[in-house]
A and B are shown apart, each in its own frame.
Chain A
Amino acid sequence: MLRQSWWKILCVVLLLYTVIAGFLGDVPAKPILHETIRNLYFHVAMWFSMMILFIVSVVYAIKYLRRPDQVFDIYSLEYAKAGIVFGSLGVLTGSEWAGFTWGAFWSNDPKQLGAVVALLIYLAYLVLRNSMTDMDKRARIGAVYNIFAFAMLFPTLWIIPRMVESLHPGGLGGNPAFENFDPRMGKIFWPAAVPGWTLLGVWISSLRIRLQLLELKKLNHA
Chain B
Amino acid sequence: MRKTACLVWFLGSFLLSVLSAAAQGNDGNANVEMAGVLRSNGKIYIVVAVLATILAGLFVYVIRLDRKIGRLEKEAK
Query: Which chain A residues have a beta carbon within 8 Å of chain B's beta carbons?
Result: 3, 6, 8-10, 12-13, 15-17, 19-21, 23-31, 34-35, 184, 187-188, 191-192, 200, 203-204, 207, 210-211, 214, 217-218
Contacts and interface: CB of A to CB of B under 8 A. Distances in A.
A9 B7 contact: yes
Q: What 6 pairs across the A-B complex have the smallest Cβ distances? A: A29-B32, A29-B29, A187-B17, A6-B3, A25-B21, A19-B51
Given A8-B66, A23-B51, A25-B21, A214 B29 contact: no
A24 B48 contact: yes
Contacts of A200: 62
19 contacts: A8-B63, A13-B7, A17-B14, A21-B14, A21-B18, A23-B44, A23-B47, A25-B21, A26-B24, A26-B25, A29-B34, A187-B17, A188-B21, A207-B69, A210-B69, A211-B72, A214-B73, A214-B76, A217-B76
A interface majority secondary structure: helix
B55 A16 contact: yes
B26 A34 contact: no
Contacts of A217: 76
B10 to A, nearest CB: 7
Interface residues of B, number: 39
Given A26-B25, A187-B17, 19 more contacts: A3-B70, A6-B7, A8-B66, A13-B7, A13-B10, A13-B11, A13-B14, A19-B52, A19-B55, A21-B17, A24-B45, A26-B21, A27-B34, A29-B27, A31-B32, A34-B35, A184-B21, A191-B17, A210-B73
Contacts of A25: 18, 21-22
Contacts of B10: 10, 13, 191
Contacts, number: 93
Nearest to A21: B18
Given A17-B14, A217-B76, A35 B35 contact: yes
Given A21-B21, A187-B17, A191-B13, A35 B59 contact: no
A184 B11 contact: no
Contacts of A15: 55
A31 B33 CA distance: 8
Contacts of A211: 69, 72
B24 A184 contact: yes
Contact of B65 (A20, A35, A192, A207): A207
Contacts of B33: 34
Contacts of A34: 32-35
Contacts of A9: 7
Nearest to A38: B35
Nearest to B58: A200
A25 B21 CA distance: 6
Contacts of A20: 48, 52
Interface in B27-65: 27, 29-30, 32-35, 39, 44-45, 47-48, 51-52, 55, 59, 62-63, 65
